[in-house]
Amino acid sequence: MTRAGALYGIGIGPGDPELITLKAARLIGAAPVVAYFARRDAKGNARAIAEAHLRADAEELRLEYPYTTEIPRESEAYIRAMQTFYDMAAERIAAQLSAGRDVAVLCEGDPFLYGSFMYLFDRLRGRFAVDVVPGVTGMSGCWSRAGTPMTRDIDTLTVVPATLDSQRLADMLGMADAAVVMKVGRHLGRLREVLRRLGRLDDAVYVERGTMACERVVPLAELDAAEAPYFSLVLLPAVRRAP
């Protein structure tokens, strides 16, 4: 009887290939099958980050999203399409695992922080052995590159998606000592207005493609843009305390 392969969800960090951990590099280099998510019109950022570590003979499974921002995420069509996509992606991987081949799924940042890998994990965890390898998060990469200390002493850190409605976003950010706002995208203008009403706009730092060669770091109040690309977030550091 063929031994089932193992599934590895491998965090490869925020973008700089040198931020891949030793364990992640070792497992990627050993994997006979490497899977990664990608937009229909893109090479796949995760694959580009990890490229130097792939085996020359590795079989690649490109998991291509049916949608990214083309239709509203809350729409029934989007939800149905994404459920079908993850079902099919999980079965493609399951076929490899059932044949006894280990599969490494490349995950930008950390697999369990707003990562697509979680939807594969939910579908496959009871059927196969799964090992999740943590990665440097996008937010920690961004605040390091921005030179922005986030929390001190008893400060709390809140992580929120900009996709929340404006009132809930204001409530969450209004209670936070420090915050990271993810999934900024087309919500950039609305987020800027929320922070302005809270009196925190001048504290906020916008980071785009943090740790990548084309990164951009700028005070949010100085940013002249209506929306942001996928790889962007806003940092709201806690007010500095003594000592």
Residue 74, pLDDT > 90, answer no
User: Which pLDDT band, with edges at 50, 70 and 90, does 158 fall under?
Assistant: very high
Residue 240, pLDDT > 80, answer no
Residue 33 parent element (H or E): strand 33-38
Instruction: Please state which CATH class domain 7-136 belongs to.
Output: alpha beta
- Bridge partners of 104? 8, 34
Mean pLDDT (the chain) is 93
CATH 3.30.70.3270 describes domain 139-236: no
pTM comes to 0.91
Q: Inter-axis angle of helices 188-198 and 166-175, to 10 degrees? A: 50
How far is residue 191's CA from residue 208's CA, in Å, rounded to a whole number?
15
Residue 55, pLDDT > 80, answer yes
Q: Which two tokens stand for residue 182?
A: 């993810």
Domains 7-136 and 139-236 share a fold: no
- In this prediction, residues 187-197 reach a mean pLDDT of 96
**pLDDT reported for residue 242:** 60
How far is residue 83's CA from residue 125's CA, in Å, rounded to a whole number?
17
Residue 6, pLDDT > 70, answer yes
Under 8 Å between Cβ of 180 and 236: yes
Under 8 Å between Cβ of 178 and 158: yes
pLDDT (tens digit per residue) in 119-143: 999 999 999 999 999 999 999 999 9
**pLDDT reported for residue 72:** 67
> What are the domain boundaries of the chain?
7-136, 139-236
